[in-house]
Amino acid sequence: MPEKLFDQLKNLVTEARNPASEEIDNQSTEEILRIINKEDQTVPFVIEKEIPYITQAVDLLVETFKNGGRLFYIGAGTSGRLGVLDAAECPPTFGTDPDMVQGIIAGGMDALVSAQEGSEDKRGQGAIDLMQHGFTNADVLCGIAASYRTPYVLGALEKAREIGAKTILVTCNPHSQISVDVDIAICVVVGPEVVMGSTRMKAGTATKLVLNMLTTASMIRMGKVYGNMMVDLMMTSRKLEERSKRTVMMITGADYNEAEQVLNEANGHVKTALVMILAGVDAEAARRRLITHEGFVRKAIDP
């Protein structure tokens, strides 16, 4: 078993040695930073090559959300933390139910702040944790594993496939190396890390960008954005209260007092406030229009 794992790791791009940083321990601070920065600059171009696969994943998620399904992320270490982070940021950004996008990390929530490295090797635990979160075949599971071979993640993906759910894999090794049975594989091959095997670096950056794209594009397709502005945000802090007023003011031309008043009449719902002002209707009519047009502000304004 150790020999088999050794053979797997030695052939992974994410475990290779980076020739650009072989002498990094002998460089000045500025030279170290320039090496890291130069490597980081390659990440967006690698992601660009995977946009066709990311597109497939977004279309799958939109269909799933419209049918009442949910997105679950699952990963270990950095990958797991990034999934939990992206999931946690959806409700305040897009006004989603916290259950709509969920993150699961090997070792449980304690692993967010304290490394639980051995937990990634527990293949069966991935499936157990997934099902304990109420995962069903109406949902989508997105496994996140820079190396693609993380047992915890593979166990969860196998379970999801077993019950008939759709699956996505985000990894940093090439499609040609992926032997995992998933519906969509997103392979952002960022190459060897500046510090060999430290996938919290380029691989982590690439993963964060991909997850941003998955949820942001999906939410735009679900009518959560008007123009390029968040209009389904939740007024859960003073900052978000003021951002809501500013959003209404920028889109409608209303002054501060009017924006505040209309938002109060709309129970703090930015979309409702926008339709009230732009369509010249009351709160109840604005809500009906939004329901009729699946939450899209543009369509609700001019039905």
Active site residues per annotation? 89, 120
Token pair 């460089």: residue = 27
Q: How far is CA 37 from the centre of its chain?
A: 24
Q: Which CA distances in Å does 221 have to 10, 23, 61, 202? A: 41, 46, 10, 28
Q: What is residue 104's three-state secondary structure?
A: strand
What distance lies between CA 69 and its chain's CA centroid? Answer: 16
Alpha helices in the chain (DSSP H): 2-10, 29-40, 43-49, 51-66, 77-94, 123-132, 151-162, 202-221, 238-252, 256-265, 270-279, 283-292, 297-301
The DSSP letter of residue 137 is: T
Q: What is the DSSP letter of 64?
A: H
Q: Is 69 helix (H, G, I), strand (E, B) or coil?
A: coil
Lookup: tokens for 221: 């397709």
The rounded distance, in Å, linking the Cα atoms of 58 and 264 is 34
Other Cβ atoms less than 10 A from the Cβ of 156: the count is 29
Q: Is 272 exposed, middle or buried (0-12, 13-18, 19+ CB in 10 A)?
A: buried
From 3, 169, 163, select the one nearest 74 (Cα to Cα): 169
